[in-house]
Amino acid sequence: AQTVTQSQPEMSVQEAETVTLSCTYDTSESDYYLFWYKQPPSRQMILVIRQEAYKQQNATENRFSVNFQKAAKSFSLKISDSQLGDAAMYFCAYVSGAGSYQLTFGKGTKLSVIP
Amino acid sequence: EADIYQTPRYLVIGTGKKITLECSQTMGHDKMYWYQQDPGMELHLIHYSYGVNSTEKGDLSSESTVSRIRTEHFPLTLESARPSHTSQYLCASSVTGGVNEKLFFGSGTQLSVL
């Protein structure tokens, strides 16, 4: 079974600075997808960024980028120029490419942004 | 933002009561999901549906049941609530067609059973 591990329960960053959230996963599959989801205090989950395992290029979405190390099974999220609105729980998630649509989530990292 | 709605937002109820958590989406998505989330913990899939009249149990065993009579509606029912059912319940939907499709989540229902 696949597992997703987020080893940082809480992180904090100064406004305008850069922070990196860690995520590692365990799988025996070669075809899969990885996601970072944001859950702000309002509780509605929002997709931040998505990475296809077959792509070597790291995904980027504005201030959000990932460092995808397939051999190391590592998928970290970098947030640049942090803003107060970035404060939230961040969940790393995995889904198999073998026809399953069920996501496996990590436990989450609570990010605080200090003004 | 996503057009997926959950009601009620908060629910406090006594042991033994029957409850139904509502989830509706207006995007025409075929796939819908129910996740359970305890504070500080990961989300666990408890039910999912690939379309009308299709329901399956997820990874986490749950005493709840679901139904999918209409595409837009995916209610979750607990016949007899117990304190162990206290949790956050998140509904989600996605478009048919690919494993990398985006999941849209509702705002969640925080259930407390006394």
Residue B60 has pLDDT above 70, yes or no: yes
Q: In this complex, which of B2, B42, B90 lies closest to A107 when CB atoms are compared?
A: B42
Q: Find, in chain A, the residue whose alpha carbon is nearest to that of B59.
A: A102
Query: B99 and A46 in contact by Cβ < 8 A?
Result: no
pLDDT for residue A41 = 72
Three-state SS sequence of A11-75: EEEECCCCEEECCEEECCCCCEEEEEEEECCCCCCEEEEEEECCCCCCCEECCEEEEEECCCCEE
Residue B99 has pLDDT above 70, yes or no: no
Residue A79 has pLDDT above 90, yes or no: yes
Q: Find, in chain B, the residue whose alpha carbon is nearest to that of A91.
A: B42
Query: A50 and B102 in contact by Cβ < 8 A?
Result: yes
Tokens coding A22: 């860690």
Residue B59 has pLDDT above 80, yes or no: no
- What is the distance in angstroms between the Cα of A108 and the nearest Cα belonging to chain B? 6
Query: B48 and A105 in contact by Cβ < 8 A?
Result: no
* pLDDT tens-digit series, residues A37-60: 998 776 667 889 988 888 888 989
- What is the distance in angstroms between the Cα of A115 and the nearest Cα belonging to chain B? 24
Q: How many pairs of residues across A and B have Cβ atoms under 8 Å apart? A: 59
Contact A20, A8 (CB under 8 A): no
pLDDT for residue A73 = 95
Q: Which of A15-19, A41-45, A47-51, B74-78 has the lowest mean pLDDT?
A: A41-45
Rounded distance, CA B93 to CA B48, Å? Answer: 9
